[in-house]
Amino acid sequence: MRTALARIWNRSPTVLSFAILAAQVWIPFSAQNFQTGDGSSYVYNAIVARDLLFNPHSPYSSVYQFRHALVPNWGGTILLNIILCFASAEYAQKFLMSGTILIGFLCVSYLIRSLAPRASPWTPLTNFVLQNFLLWCGMFDFILATMAALLVIGYYIRRAGRMTIPRAAILCAGLVGVFLIHLMGAAIAMLGLAVLAIWRWIVEPERPDWRQVSLVGAVMVPTIVLALAFAASSGKPAAYSAAPFQALAAFPLNMFNTAGGVIGKQSFLWPVVLAAIVLVIWRLSRAEWKSVRGGFAMVAIASFIAYLGVPDQGFGGGQAKERFVLSFFIFGAALIGATPPFATLRIGLAVYVSIFLAFNLIATRHALSAYSAAIADYLSAVGSIPAGSRILRVNYPTPDLPIRYGYAGLKRDPVLRVDSDVAARCRCIDLTDYQALNNIFPIVTRLDIDRTQQERLWDDTEKPGHATEETRWLHENALGRIDYVILVVDRFSEVSSRNFLSMIANLNEMGMHLTVSSRQAAFIRVYARDDP
């Protein structure tokens, strides 16, 4: 009896991990209208990319083109075009979310098995690090690149000290592949490789093997060159501002906020996991510090130091600090799962994590259901927009919307980029979709479109609520026509009402009228051109 109970207890992390994984994969399909932060924009741009590639006379070609200079961020575009072969635009983001979770689960498990070949790689800690703010914000390229980085690091760990030129070539190709998915994923991969190689060189009991270190250095050169070329072409340098103490006080930022309330922020989870990571690193034996496990502990520490020191914005991207927070927790979780002396702690921690992660998934599902209703109202208001239309979206502050629909406490706006979802479904042109305006994605606005117009469109996208004059200017200096203007405005909010009336008057002067469909949703007003 005791033997059977012990066997069940030892296998509980595996059972719990796969049970939670099933729930995580199911959640995107549990809501009628699923949205992450940027996910709809990924779907829209994947459709644009496919149309530009296979249809030279595509309507999208009047506004968009492929970026001629080097650019990463290809992961979501490629994966979504595979998904769109068997799923509609309505379901593509759901498949992307679930697929990313499944890929992440396998990649983290591969890393754990690389560190400890005899240990079970299945642990709820993997599920925990995948239930994060960045994924729910729809930063799919970064998440996919980070998971690919784990494969690169795991490949090196399995061959540490036995690196040959053919193996180095494979590692080099893997790094370049990670870069093409996302720059920050490549940075995390190179950080891991560099720390592991240097640490192994430092703790070598005999004469250091310069050839092994040199091969790892050579492996990173092409990716570094590509990253520098991309940084030079982005035209947006990093604005460095060292504030390590403020970063330390803000740790872990919003990393585990997936819903409102204490459970939604995973406040009972991340401090316990952090304490376990610190404990495991502190209790490593001298022999372990001289092994690959010690080097990997240094990788986790280096990720935390990088979080404290890196600039948060640069080269057209942002939230760099949060990305290193996630890498720190991923490396720390893998280290816990791969440290044999802590088997008892690992099982107890797995049970604890599973319980509170289950509560978080319930809270996340509740928030998803709440803002799914808001998105349903949004879509009902724009359902009459015909294919091929040119859409301009203007967001006003909507502070009362989360309270009215019941998703207060989210640190992201689930209705911010629904216009991209609308455009993807009706094959329209969304002039205010952020990716083409940001100049760091595969699809960009045409070179013959005035840069000032692009900047004003970007302002309408990222600084909602001030766009009255900009909308009129864009109408008069249009990149083609503007067929529909979607106003996202909370009519019951004092903040929204300040500039709202002037916008309405402006649209009327532009010859646009309020459509009947807009009356179906309290916070959406759709204006159409008077002429067909």
> And the tokens for 47?
């459709």
Mean pLDDT for 421-426 is: 94
pLDDT of amino acid 489: 82
> And the tokens for 423?
């455009």
Residue with token string 């690193």:
281
pLDDT of amino acid 419: 94
Structure confidence by residue, pLDDT tens digits, 338-367: 886 666 677 889 999 999 999 999 999 999
d(CA 91, CA 97): 10
Give the DSSP H/E element, type plus range, for residue 430: strand 429-430
* pLDDT of 461 higher than 70: no
pLDDT of amino acid 226: 94
Q: Which of 161-175, 317-331, 389-403, 467-481 has the lowest mean pLDDT?
A: 467-481
Length of the chain as a residue count: 532
Beta bridge partners of 65: 444
pLDDT of amino acid 68: 85
| Collapsed DSSP state (helix, strand, coil) of residue 526 | strand
358 φ, ψ (degrees, to nearest 5):
-65, -45
| Collapsed DSSP state (helix, strand, coil) of residue 524 | strand
> And the tokens for 301?
């520490």
Please write down the HEC assignment for all residues of 287-343.
HHHCCHHHHHHHHHHHHHHHHHHCCCCECCECCHHHHHHHHHHHHHHHHHHCCHHHH
Query: How confident is residue 70, by pLDDT bands cut at 50, 70 and 90?
Result: confident
d(CA 161, CA 292): 10
pLDDT of amino acid 399: 82
Whether residue 252 is preceded by a cis peptide bond, meaning omega within 30 degrees of 0, is yes
Which residues contact residue 360 at a Cβ distance below 8 angstroms, ignoring those fewer than 6 apart? 131, 258, 259, 263, 264, 266, 269
Strands 429-430, 390-395: pairing kind: parallel
240 exposure class (CB count in 10 Å sphere: 0-12, 13-18, 19+):
exposed
Mean pLDDT for 410-422 is: 92
Higher pLDDT, 399 or 122: 122
* pLDDT of 483 higher than 80: yes
pLDDT of amino acid 316: 63
pLDDT of amino acid 341: 60
Structure confidence by residue, pLDDT tens digits, 179-211: 999 999 999 999 999 999 999 888 876 666 778
Structure confidence by residue, pLDDT tens digits, 89-118: 999 999 999 999 999 999 999 999 999 998
Q: What is the pTM of this model?
A: 0.93
pLDDT of amino acid 465: 47
d(CA 386, CA 323): 39
Higher pLDDT, 315 or 441: 441
Mean pLDDT for 9-23 is: 90
Q: Which of 27-41, 294-308, 451-465 has the lowest mean pLDDT?
A: 451-465
pLDDT averaged over every residue in the chain: 87
d(CA 434, CA 343): 47
Tell which residue, 216, 269, 103, 283, has the closest CA to residue 111. 103
pLDDT of amino acid 282: 93
pLDDT of amino acid 167: 93
514 φ, ψ (degrees, to nearest 5):
-75, 125
Tell which residue, 229, 138, 178, 440, has the closest CA to residue 314. 440
CB 78 within 8 A of CB 121: no
CB 492 within 8 A of CB 504: no
Give the DSSP H/E element, type plus range, for residue 360: helix 343-381
Which residues contact residue 295 at a Cβ distance below 8 angstroms, ignoring those fewer than 6 apart? 195, 196, 199, 200, 203
Q: Which of 276-285, 311-320, 409-418, 491-500 has the lowest mean pLDDT?
A: 491-500
Q: Which of 339-353, 384-398, 406-420 has the lowest mean pLDDT?
A: 339-353
Return the percentage of the chain with pLDDT > 90, whole number. Answer: 55
Higher pLDDT, 453 or 522: 522
